[in-house]
Amino acid sequence: MTSNPESKSDTAQATPDRPTTPTASFVVVANRLPVERVPGHDGEEWRMSPGGLVTALEPVLREKGGVWIGWHGVSGEDLEPFEASGIQVVPVPLSREEVTEYYEGMSNATLWPLYHDSVAFPEYHREWWDAYRAVNQRFAERVAAVAGEGAIVWVQDYQLQLVPRMLRELRPDVRIGFFLHIPFPPAELFQQLPWRRQILEGIAGADLVGFQVPKDAHNFVRLLRQMLRYETRRDRFSAPGGRIGRARAYPISIDVEAFAQLSDSPGVVARAQEVRHDLGAKTILFGVDRLDYTKGLRQRILAVGELFSEGRLDPEETVFVQIATPSRERVEEYQRLRDDIELLIGRINGSMSTIARSPITYLHTHFPKDEIAAMYRAADVLIVTPLRDGMNLVAKEYVASKTDGSGALVLSEFAGAAEELKQAYIVNPYDINGMKEMILQAVRDSPAAKRRRMRALRRQVLNNDIHVWADAFLHDLDLIGYPTTLES
């Protein structure tokens, strides 16, 4: 099936044919396209999706005349390439079975839990692997057909770990970068994976491999040495044929200026004041996460609930607002998590609520960015306590939004962001008592102490935004080939 999207100022227009001559000098490859289809006045329209990755790469794509390759989000539909807001996008089709096996299966029920320290039990199914390999091959072939001679290709994330090697076999002339947005596990966990060699060889097909934190890069290089017998030295590895690759940390960030401007906009300021008035609390604790078992929601809610039940937080003065945006609702593990969270909150509120207020306000729905910004601005304490997270951009969004220097950030030591945001109130989310004490400290510290911490946090975030991240990676990718030996 093909589609011919209508052309709008912020929409997409289909081109008549798939490109037959490789022309793009810069190609971004991700599981999803940076556009979403929405109803319009004249039929369907395509709008740019919000998100840091799109924000960072859009100007590079425009400048270089690049293309973005990915799935458009609907199964069983094969679209022609089209243009969205001046960016060329090339859709890759997925069948319904491939969505089930490649995406929901191998990507999100095997790799996702394994790479997050097996917080949930990973499932290993051969048919999932077969679909994963087939889809990665399709992506690689689509890139090979689009990339110009000597192009730079930047492959994104765990769904496409086989693409770098597959692409190198098809197009040895292109320069390939790969960035993993989620954690990379230690050898002791990674070795569970039945297809561990293929995954390592796939990623190592890239000239430059990027990770969120140095530890993950070290894990990867160690596995190359131990499992594939590659020669390695610090962050370099010698791939077959003598090619020298590098594996380094590039902590991703956000569009800090955009978040700060949004936070200071009149509508968001007014909405934040309205939120504080409606909640009627002296102190607002806030959490916002996808509903995912890696986010530590059970532990966080239990800790806050105990603080209320022990009388250390007064429900007449303090409220905890937790937003859990729906995620992977067809997956059984996520359905159980939602049931568990709602039962736990119901018990806490049932034992301590008054007619006027419940100590915990739980919202399982999507909110627009300006509403989240208003909550950031209104919140006295943001609690970000994942059991494992590659980075966690919510923490950085909160810091960027606190333009007046107020607020306090409680942050898990197992989020990649903790390596940068060292002045946050750092917690071990598995230590419920320790987390309770740190939440209390974040609530009770003097305004001066909180401002000192927030100044340091804001300085770090302001100096390392999403554009710094993209520029650093692409600069290093551009230098690949120098040096040409492990010892240089």
Question: Is there a domain that residue 296 lies in?
Answer: yes
Q: Are residues 276 and 199 in the same domain?
A: no
Residue 427's domain is classified under what CATH number? 3.40.50.2000
Average pLDDT of span 404-430: 98
Same domain, 147 and 286: no
Q: What average pLDDT does the segment 279-302 reach?
A: 95
Looking at residue 333, what is its pLDDT? 75
In a domain, 403, yes or no: yes
Instruction: Flag whether 476 is in a domain.
Output: no
- The number of domains in the chain is 2
* Per-residue pLDDT reduced to its tens digit, 301-327: 999 999 999 999 999 999 999 999 987
One domain for residues 226 and 334: no
Judge whether residue 461 has pLDDT over 80: yes
Residue at which a domain ends, from 223, 249, 275: 249
Which position among 216, 292, 389, 465 bears the catalytic label? Answer: 389
Q: Is residue 115 part of a domain?
A: yes
Q: What is the pLDDT of residues 55-99, one digit of tens each?
A: 778 888 888 889 999 999 999 999 999 988 778 999 999 999 999
Q: Is 4 part of any domain?
A: no
- Whether 171 and 289 map to the same domain: the answer is no
Q: Are residues 275 and 177 in the same domain?
A: no
Residues 239 and 387 in one domain: no
Residues 137 and 165 in one domain: yes
Tell me, yes or no, whether 232 and 322 share the same domain.
no
The band of 23, judged by pLDDT with boundaries at 50, 70 and 90, is confident
- Does the annotation count 340 as an active-site position? no
The three state secondary structure string of the chain is CCCCCCCCCCCEEECCCCCCCCCEEEEEEEEECCEEEEEECCEEEEEECCCHHHHHHHHHHHHHCCEEEEECCCCCCCCCCEEECCEEEEECCCCHHHHHHHHHHHHHHHHHHHHCCCCCCCCCCHHHHHHHHHHHHHHHHHHHHHEEEEEEEEEECHHHCCHHHHHHHHCCCCEEEEECCCCCCCHHHHCCCCCHHHHHHHHCCCCEEEECCHHHHHHHHHHHHHHCCCEEECCEEECHHHCEEEEEECCCCCCHHHHHHHHHCHHHHHHHHHHHHHHCCCEEEEEEEECCHHHCHHHHHHHHHHHHHCCCCCCCCEEEEEEEECCCCCCHHHHHHHHHHHHHHHHHHHHHCCCCCCCEEEECCCCCHHHHHHHHHHCCEEEECCCCECCCHHHHHHHHHCCCCCCEEEEECCEHHHHCCCCCEEECCCCHHHHHHHHHHHHHCCHHHHHHHHHHHHHHHHHCCHHHHHHHHHHHHHCCCCCCCCCC
| 356 — pLDDT class (breaks 50, 70, 90) | low
Could you give the C-alpha distances from 446 to 286, 377, 402, in angstroms and in order?
A: 19, 19, 17
**249, 281, 312: which is the final residue of a domain?**
249
Pair (89, 229) in one structural domain: yes
Inside any domain, residue 179: yes
Residues 164, 311 within the same domain: no
**Which residues constitute the domain of residue 228?**
12-249
* pLDDT one-digit tens code per residue, 150-175: 999 999 999 999 999 999 999 999 99
213 and 362 in a single domain? The answer is no
pTM for the structure as a whole: 0.92
- 260 and 126, same structural domain? no
21 vs 139, higher pLDDT: 139
Active site residue 389: yes
283 forms beta bridges with 318
Catalytic residue from among 181, 264, 445, 476: 181
pLDDT of residue 1: 37
